Amino acid sequence: MTSLPTVSVLLVTKNGARYLAEVLTSVYRQQGEFSLGEIVAVDSGSRDATLDILQRFGVQIVRIPPHEFGHGKTRNLAASRAQGEYLVFLTQDATPANEYWLARLLAPLQRDVAVAGAYSRHLPRPHCHPMEWRRIVECELSGRAASQLNSAVDNPAYATNPALYYFFSNVSSVLRRQVWERFPFPEVEFGEDQLWAKQVLEAGYKTAYCADSLVYHSHGYGPWSNFCRHFDHFLALPGGTDRGPQLTLRQGIPAALRAARADLAFWARHRGEGKASVVLRWALPALSWHLAANLGVWLGERAQRLPRWLCRRLSLQERIKRR
């Protein structure tokens, strides 16, 4: 009799009590041809009810001081404590949308031994604001309705637009343990998932985007947090300064205006509301949100020229560590 493949679900937590019980309840409800061996959480200094919730759900807890947290390093630590054949990474605020999230996430790896990892589709939470909602469903590679198998070898399109293929998201992902042992996450502050995917693709493996593996995950960031998020993201993108600038300050204002108009039109269609009421409620928030994002992009691309103390001050990840 063939034994079922074993799965370890790995969390990184800090002050995650808002959604954590919901997330863990959904994890334990998963159905499919696998064995859920364990859930491991690395907690970096929670001060709310996070640790109590983890203990109540029987999660194996590894505690580290806040200053030791790093997106790559901490996930590697979680993986090193796990025993599963498949390593499933899930953030504390990503709720599996149904009982087949995990089986569908595992499916590409079970079908093809060349697939090193896969990631899920993100859905906005009901309270999500229109700017973030449209970003997820229309703009982000983690919100597309069609699944995709990615490769770099013998793929001429990879050289033309590599970011389309090495995009990967540890909000909800699975790695084949044997591949992780050869290619652990780079120990960076942010963007470890995309750097890892780039590395394994160029080593000859494949990755998969699973549009039928669904998690609810969105943020209600205001302009300042959105600026900091984009600063972190563009600082961390593979290629560094070799990419060349993607945005100038002069381009940033009209780009923000176009994006805000698109948000308003999207929200009016999505909600079935009159354009006037949508404009009155969301025009200024949308414009400020996109202006902040574009400024974050502009500075993030030029962060190598900034003093280190200023980069820490502008980083959302650094702010989360200090909480």
Q: Model confidence over 268-292: pLDDT tens digits?
A: 998 888 889 999 999 999 999 999 9
Between 127-131, 180-184, 232-236, 250-254, the lowest mean confidence (pLDDT) is in 232-236
Structural contact between residues 162 and 198, judged by C-beta atoms closer than 8 angstroms: yes
| pLDDT(206) > 50 | yes
| pLDDT(1) > 50 | no
User: Mean pLDDT of all residues in the chain?
Assistant: 91
pTM over 0.85: yes
| pLDDT(246) > 80 | no
Rounded average pLDDT over 186-204: 91
Measured distance CA(46)–CA(69) in Å, rounded: 12
Strand partners, 36: 7
Q: In the chain, pLDDT over 70 holds for what percent of residues? A: 94
Higher-confidence residue of 23 and 315: namely: 23
* 91 φ/ψ sector (left φ>0, alpha ψ -120 to 50, else beta): beta
List every span in the chain annotated with CATH 3.90.550.10. Answer: 6-216
The domain made up of 6-216 has a fold known as Spore Coat Polysaccharide Biosynthesis Protein SpsA; Chain A (3.90.550)
Measured distance CA(102)–CA(253) in Å, rounded: 41
CA end-to-end span of the chain: 50
Residue 55: other Cβ atoms inside 10 A: 10
**For residue 243, what pLDDT is reported?**
47
Q: By CB neighbour count within 10 A (0-12 exposed, 13-18 middle, 19+ buried), where does 309 fall? A: exposed
**For residue 264, what pLDDT is reported?**
95
Q: In the chain, pLDDT over 90 holds for what percent of residues? A: 70
| pLDDT(250) > 60 | yes
Measured distance CA(126)–CA(129) in Å, rounded: 9
